[in-house]
Amino acid sequence: MNKNIILYGAILIFGIAAPFIFPAFKVQLSILCILIILAITWNVQGGEMGYNTFGNILFYGLGMYLCASVQVGMFFPLGEWTEGGGEKTFVHTPAQFFQGFAVGLAVAAVVPAIIAGLIGYSILGLRGHYFAICTLGLGVAAGEISGGIEIIGAGQGFTTPPFPNVDRLEARGEFFYFCSFIVLVFTFLAVKAIYSTRFKLVLNAIRDNEDKAEAMGIQTMKYKIIGWMISAFFCGLAGGIMGGLVGYIDSTDVAFDGREMGVFMVLMAILGGKGTLWGPVIGATLFHIFKEGFWTFFLGWQYVALGVLIVVIVIYFPEGIMGWLREKYPERFGEVVDEADRKAQVTLK
């Protein structure tokens, strides 16, 4: 317990100090926070519940569009804003910007959760690969359809309000970093709290054998929907912040980017280890470092590298880092190991 407090304290202090220690990497650190949030939320669904989804990108993109639309629409006519392509005809005052952003984030979190609840009953009735393909279809369909809607910019994209400079203080990086960091801490604590309750056990029961769980009297559909809503809530939040951070929303390349973000979140959670609390965090961090390295040094070949990485991780490393550690050091994970038994098993193999 004591060790844990020191660990968490150290991470928290590092998180707060990071933008000042590495001022050049503020944006990268914010993106890292967003990636960790996405990996954690994917893990709630894919790792704990066993419902492997490609469709959480739907909530991420939805959150992005909603946050930006609310932020603009609260003060100015939305249609004219997007038509002008973010021309400086309307300028947010700092108060308007922050108010709009706060309300926008709230909407970006709540509405995706509600939508997840509404569509959950129909879609969570599918299992296994049908669920995976169905959610893949949902994500792509959302991208294609939002690319045809005029009021949110259609094909030409949506420019989010520029960050206002209060007294010429350039604090954009810090603002978005702390936003994403606070949401990350909030997400982590919320998920940690959830994982210590009966709810997590129910989710695991659904993953291990849904029919038996149902036979034991668990209302699986209810729990599945709640699980998806939790996932959607944090995905929407992450999307809202990411929209402000990137500053420009395109339907298929930024918001509903199934080819990048949608796969990244699956990959990060699997790389770190599905079904663990720390796995997605570690996986996302490693993945981000790897990705940035590749994106910088092998520009153009990044998708080739990404494709190879997916294949290699999925085939040779499906248990992830935490799974590997668990196999190697089971004592650390609270499993009681009989040494003689373990040796016997090894020789049997």
Rounded least distance, CB 40 to other proteins, Å: 19
Query: In this chain, which stretch among 25-33, 230-238, 263-271, 275-283 interacts with other proteins, using CB under 8 A?
Result: 263-271
Contact between 153 and 73 under an 8 Å Cβ cutoff? The reply is: no
CA-to-CA distance for 116 and 231, rounded, in angstroms? 9
Closest of 214, 227, 35, 40 to residue 131, by C-alpha = 227
* H/E stretch holding 249: strand 248-249
Q: What angle do CA 228, 179, 237 make, to 5 degrees?
A: 20
Scanning residues 14 to 73, which ones bind other proteins (CB under 8 A)?
52
Rounded least distance, CB 142 to other proteins, Å: 8
110 lies in the binding site for other proteins (CB under 8 A): no
Among 5, 21, 148, 348, binds other proteins (CB under 8 A): 148
Q: State both tokens at 146.
A: 């939002």
144 lies in the binding site for other proteins (CB under 8 A): yes
Among 130, 186, 324, 333, binds other proteins (CB under 8 A): 130
What burial class does residue 70 get, using C-beta atoms within 10 Å of its C-beta: 0-12 exposed, 13-18 middle, 19+ buried?
Answer: buried
Taking the alpha carbons of 23, 27, 33, 39 in that order, is the dihedral positive or negative? negative
Query: In this chain, which stretch among 97-105, 121-129, 179-187, 289-297 interacts with other proteins, using CB under 8 A?
Result: 121-129
Rounded least distance, CB 349 to other proteins, Å: 18
Scanning residues 272 to 331, which ones bind other proteins (CB under 8 A)?
300-301, 303-304, 306-311, 314-315, 318
CA-to-CA distance for 177 and 55, rounded, in angstroms? 26
CA-to-CA distance for 97 and 244, rounded, in angstroms? 11
147 lies in the binding site for other proteins (CB under 8 A): yes
Rounded least distance, CB 293 to other proteins, Å: 17
Q: How many CB atoms lie within 10 A of CB 349?
A: 4
Where on the chain is the footprint of other proteins (CB under 8 A)? 52, 122-123, 125-130, 132-134, 136-138, 140-141, 143-145, 147-148, 155, 259, 263, 266, 270, 300-301, 303-304, 306-311, 314-315, 318
